[in-house]
Structure 1
Amino acid sequence: MAAPAAADIGGARAGDDEVDVIILGAGPAGAAAAITLCRHTRLRVALVERRLFDPFRPGETVSPALFPLMEYLGIARAGFEERHLQSYAHAAAWGGDELVVRDFLFNGQGSGLHLDRLAFDSMLLEQAGQLGAQIVQPAELLGITGGARWAVALRQGERKRTLGAAYLIDCSGRSSVMVRQQQCPVLQTDRMVGVYAYYDAGQADAPERLQRTLVETTANGWFYLAPLPGGRTALAFMTDAETLRTLDLLDPDTWRRHALASTHIGALVRELGAPQAFRQYPVHSRVARLPANAAWTAAGDAAASFDPVSSLGIGHALSSGIHAARVAQAYVEQGGGLGEGYRQSLLAHFQSYATTRRALYANEQRWPGAGFWQRRLAQEGERAVA
């Protein structure tokens, strides 16, 4: 599914500038919040996104645990699955050279999915629009001011407008617009980055046939490969910002040589040509200490973000978007009541994740002197964050 054109969703009607809830960011978290509010309340919602969706985005593979969330949002599993590629297994060389395969066939929930992110994000945005959310995309954010109501100043093309609302939900991803503006305390445990190469159709037949993810560790980080719909492939290397600079891994040729030096990933990279796109993304772990009962909250990566090894990204985006919508409804209709519970659940979730992540990284003992692996065990994420 193609992303909606700016002309399709950018226009405003009379009265559209005053709503009950403004959501900043129309990714999975923002769309889930908008869908929840539109399906279960009578609140007026505006969903603001600064740009058209990029077809090259991380978050390519999801587990079967995603399906109940999609069904809650009114998207049937059958119709959802047919737009994406079945994911039958996960293979990893982590803690040893041998590739260990975990088949989803035996988990009782069925297979996961390799996502077409453009189609996935566009589907959620379309669902929000059909349910009545006002979609404002693309729109440059000029400023946010508080008071009796929030005022969000925007520029759409040559036109400036200001949206007013009683409540804001920050779903702006790792840019965390409101979290930063409101000087909300944030615990960040590392400086991990991911360097992604996306390969066009026809360049990776073997991964496409296997329809499984592949993870392989190295002394300086770990590789991740996933097939995508349409015969495409995503290949990423996760490491620290310091290592990225030291090894010059933002140079595509250097990055490819590093990949070729690995055992399992290297065998597949030899079959690939030049990437269609080459991107860098921050993938550090962090959690915001959100306010207990303010006229705003956050969801998705703006509230908490996780190491990609956890596979929590999109599931967390949807579930936190749903919960943030409930917090917004309680605030607008009742003056509050759910903010503290949501805040505490995020902190507890991050605490549990940090402990699990540390145990997972401790399973890799082959490079005890390597800075990347030493830093994973020295992270402070397992400390109390409440």
Structure 2
Amino acid sequence: MKAGTPRRCDVSCDVLVAGGGPAGCAAALALVRAGADVVLVAPAAPDRPRIGESLAPAAGPLLERLGVLGRIALDGHAPCYGGRAVWGGDGPSEVSSVLGPYGPGLHLDRARFDTALLEAAEAAGALRRTGRIRAVERLPDHWRVTTATTGTTGSTATAGTTGTAATTGAGGTLTARYVVDATGRPARLARRLGAAPGRSDRLTALTGILAAPGGGPAEPERTSLVESTPWGWWYTAPLPDGGRVLMAMTDADLVAGTLLHDRDVWWARAQATGHVRHRLAPWREPPRQLDVATAGPSCTRPAAGPGWAAVGDAATATDPLAARGIVMALATGMEGARAILADHAGDRGALAAYARRITALHEEHLHARAVQYQREQRWDTPFWRRRHRTTG
């Protein structure tokens, strides 16, 4: 890797980043600004809509270090003044971010947020290939990576400008000194390299997006809300366009018994809550469809090795109850990039140290999560018995 403005690379590069979400873009931005040639391989669109619409205030300093805070702040997102939780009792408790050191968080237009990060990475000098990793082979001093692509887009060599490279066809081969797995919870690249992602439980999110109501309130309450139930818990938050996200969280094997996979039952259960239902007052009908996704904590072990690192959910995924998924994505993307740069500079322990740090962060999360679940003792049901047995 060399100092100075990164050059465009069509066949070889210093670092290949697999995945174009916040973690992959954070890693790419950190790397290109340190002088690395970066190719970012990502699908044209995610497999399913990305969930994660509340940005904690702690993300502010990370976005500022990446040089994108100003753009994000002016990109049409709405302020988030904190959260409320009905947990361990019938009344809500409240956590306000207004007086915190970083001010309020944001309710995100998630597609716009991800696009802004991806465009920033391209403008800084990363070359984007649209597609997926098909195969990866370790050679003595580099990786040979085969991609299944439909085309490429990329930036010019000058930061702050963007351009478009020629379409390359249905696939290609790249060589890279390092690879970064930012493929999310599946950790597709890390698995190919022999790492083992492990899940702590079978927590599952059943999510619906409610479109902005025609006669709804002009300015919804700008806080998120969590409410526990005998079978799990609900989460809801407003969206910048006036819509709302609503999620039911339970274990995968409990979904059939609760009938939460049935959209009408899901909606009826939401309407029967003590507090969430008040946030749903402007809506008369459920969303058109529910998205079902794995949501439990997971950790890839190891999260790095010779010539590679996993970042974001591919490294460690947190329980949505922690509300720090995007913060962790940005932080691990930047930290993984630093480990790669240190390894290239001669610190042969940097990647192993990064992997240990990821494991420690995950264990810390599991402990804090166990404490939080222990606070809810009202129900002796399978969902809660499992978590009360868990010590982290």
TM-score between the two structures when normalised by the length of structure 1? 0.89
Deviation of 1:203 (Å): 5.9
1:196 equivalent in structure 2: 207
2:343 equivalent in structure 1: 331
Alpha-carbon spacing, 1:30–1:19, altered in 2? closer, same or farther (3 Å): same
Residue 284 (1) aligns with residue 296 (2): yes
Deviation of 1:109 (Å): 2.7
**Pairwise mapping of residues 308-323 of structure 1 onto structure 2 (< 5 A)?**
308-323=320-335
1:142 equivalent in structure 2: 134
Q: Does structure 1 retain, via aligned residues, the 8 Å contact 2:191–2:197?
A: no
Letter in 1 for 2:368: T
Letter in 1 for 2:94: V
1:99 equivalent in structure 2: 92
What secondary structure does 1:223 align onto?
Answer: strand
1:30 to 24, 34, 52: 24
Q: Does structure 2 retain, via aligned residues, the 8 Å contact 1:327–1:338?
A: yes
Alpha-carbon spacing, 1:315–1:333, altered in 2? closer, same or farther (3 Å): same
Residues in 1 aligned to 2:304 and 2:132: alpha-carbon distance in whole angstroms: 29
2:174 equivalent in structure 1: 163
Residues in 1 aligned to 2:300 and 2:214: alpha-carbon distance in whole angstroms: 41
Alpha-carbon spacing, 1:276–1:113, altered in 2? closer, same or farther (3 Å): farther
What secondary structure does 1:19 align onto?
Answer: strand
2:111 equivalent in structure 1: 118
Deviation of 1:81 (Å): 4.9
Residues in 2 aligned to 1:262 and 1:173: alpha-carbon distance in whole angstroms: 32
What secondary structure does 1:20 align onto?
Answer: strand
Residues in 2 aligned to 1:204 and 1:171: alpha-carbon distance in whole angstroms: 41
Which runs of 4 or more aligned residues in structure 1 lie more than 6 Å from their structure 2 counterparts after TM superposition? Answer: none
Residues in 2 aligned to 1:186 and 1:79: alpha-carbon distance in whole angstroms: 32
What do residues 26-64 of structure 1 show as CA deviations (whole Å, max 9, x unaligned)? 10000000000011x221100011232478321111221
Residues in 2 aligned to 1:342 and 1:257: alpha-carbon distance in whole angstroms: 46
Letter in 2 for 1:74: G
Q: Does structure 2 retain, via aligned residues, the 8 Å contact 1:55–1:118?
A: no
Letter in 2 for 1:115: L
The answer to which of 99-108 and 85-94 deviates more is 99-108
Deviation of 1:82 (Å): 4.7
**Pairwise mapping of residues 80-95 of structure 1 onto structure 2 (< 5 A)?**
80-95=73-88
1:73 to 31, 41, 66: 66
What do residues 313-348 of structure 1 show as CA deviations (whole Å, max 9, x unaligned)? 000000000011112222334363311221121111
Q: Does structure 2 retain, via aligned residues, the 8 Å contact 1:207–1:227?
A: no
User: Unaligned regions of 5+ residues in structure 2, if any?
Assistant: 1-6, 151-168
What do residues 101-159 of structure 1 show as CA deviations (whole Å, max 9, x unaligned)? 2222232431111011101100000000001000112x133222221321221222352
What secondary structure does 1:174 align onto?
Answer: coil
Deviation of 1:284 (Å): 1.1
Residues in 2 aligned to 1:208 and 1:362: alpha-carbon distance in whole angstroms: 35
What do residues 198-239 of structure 1 show as CA deviations (whole Å, max 9, x unaligned)? 011226835952111011110001000000111111010111
Letter in 1 for 2:354: Y
1:375 equivalent in structure 2: 386
Deviation of 1:77 (Å): 4.1
2:165 equivalent in structure 1: none
2:264 equivalent in structure 1: 253
Q: Does structure 2 retain, via aligned residues, the 8 Å contact 1:204–1:232?
A: no
Residues in 1 aligned to 2:389 and 2:17: alpha-carbon distance in whole angstroms: 36
2:275 equivalent in structure 1: 264
1:44 equivalent in structure 2: 37
The answer to which of 211-220 and 183-192 deviates more is 183-192
2:244 equivalent in structure 1: 233
Q: Does structure 1 retain, via aligned residues, the 8 Å contact 2:339–2:351?
A: yes
Letter in 2 for 1:114: H
Residues in 1 aligned to 2:315 and 2:218: alpha-carbon distance in whole angstroms: 34
2:123 to 123, 130, 138: 130
Higher helix share: 1
Residues in 1 aligned to 2:197 and 2:206: alpha-carbon distance in whole angstroms: 24
Q: Does structure 2 retain, via aligned residues, the 8 Å contact 1:53–1:118?
A: no
1:9 equivalent in structure 2: none
Deviation of 1:188 (Å): 2.1
Alpha-carbon spacing, 1:241–1:131, altered in 2? closer, same or farther (3 Å): same
Q: Does structure 1 retain, via aligned residues, the 8 Å contact 2:198–2:299?
A: yes
2:364 equivalent in structure 1: 352
Q: What root-mean-square deviation, in Å, do the aligned CA atoms of Structure 1 and Structure 2 show?
A: 2.1
Deviation of 1:357 (Å): 0.7
